[in-house]
Structure 1
């Protein structure tokens, strides 16, 4: 087990632009504000959802895209460093008009209808992601 300790310093609340890419918008925001560690939450609705499922056997992501109106039931993630740059790692859960849910690793291609976010910055720590040969993932070292 690895533990990192820090202090929550700044909290941002915001609204994303209609038609924007959810992940790209988060990445642009954290780069602009130079947030190197933190927590991300998003609620709202999308006109298209994109998410990944990681195959533990094949050690690769399978990307799923749903071209339909859906609610963001929840989206939560973290911010840390990968290759020395701030990196957003988030998971998302969508729900459709029938109440079916879909979810996984947030990827580019999720198009915002309306979305609000909260980003909490954590200072005094910045976990770094490195390749883990056992899982095939970039995990905190």
Structure 2
């Protein structure tokens, strides 16, 4: 496994920055190992909703999970508000860094991740391709 660490700065878009990172390093099978930081705006698509909700407030990033590859990323985020209430769902463009985001990404050498449309769901889903040894 290869490991990458990055820090995002104020006003960067969390999802877009991770997408750019995956493309710049030609990431084939990445996954979030750990992530903490803060947002000044969150844009999250909650379970079984077709559109995302924009939340304008300060939030702590409690967790960030998912897969990253040059062919697409799929990430879920959990944030807490000023009262410690937790919200989570699908990370969308528009999650804007407040002070920082410290992210560590692992990359498998054994697999390549691609996203293809699944006939059953109609969505681009993860396809895991073993790399030759």
Q: Give, in angstroms, the shift of residue 133 of structure 1.
A: 2.8
Q: Does 1:66 align with 2:55?
A: yes
- Aligned-partner Cα distance in 1 for 2:9–2:80: 21
Matched position secondary structure for 2:51: strand
Q: Does 1:79 align with 2:81?
A: no
Could you list the per-position Cα deviations for residues 9-42 of structure 1 after superposition, in whole angstroms to 9, with x for gaps in the alignment?
A: x201111021100001111111111111111232
Contact 1:49–1:109 (CA<8 Å) still a contact in 2? yes
Q: Give, in angstroms, the shift of residue 94 of structure 1.
A: 0.8
Contact 1:74–1:94 (CA<8 Å) still a contact in 2? yes
Residue 6 of structure 2 aligns with which residue?
Answer: 14
Q: Give, in angstroms, the shift of residue 54 of structure 1.
A: 4.8
TM-score, normalised to structure 2, is 0.86
- Aligned-partner Cα distance in 1 for 2:55–2:43: 6
Match runs of 1:34-53 below 5 Å: 34-40=26-32, 41-53=34-46
Residue in structure 1 matching 2:105, options 74, 99, 119: 119
Count of residues paired in the alignment: 125
Contact 1:54–1:62 (CA<8 Å) still a contact in 2? no
Residue 101 of structure 1 aligns with which residue?
Answer: 86
CA RMSD for the aligned pairs? 1.5
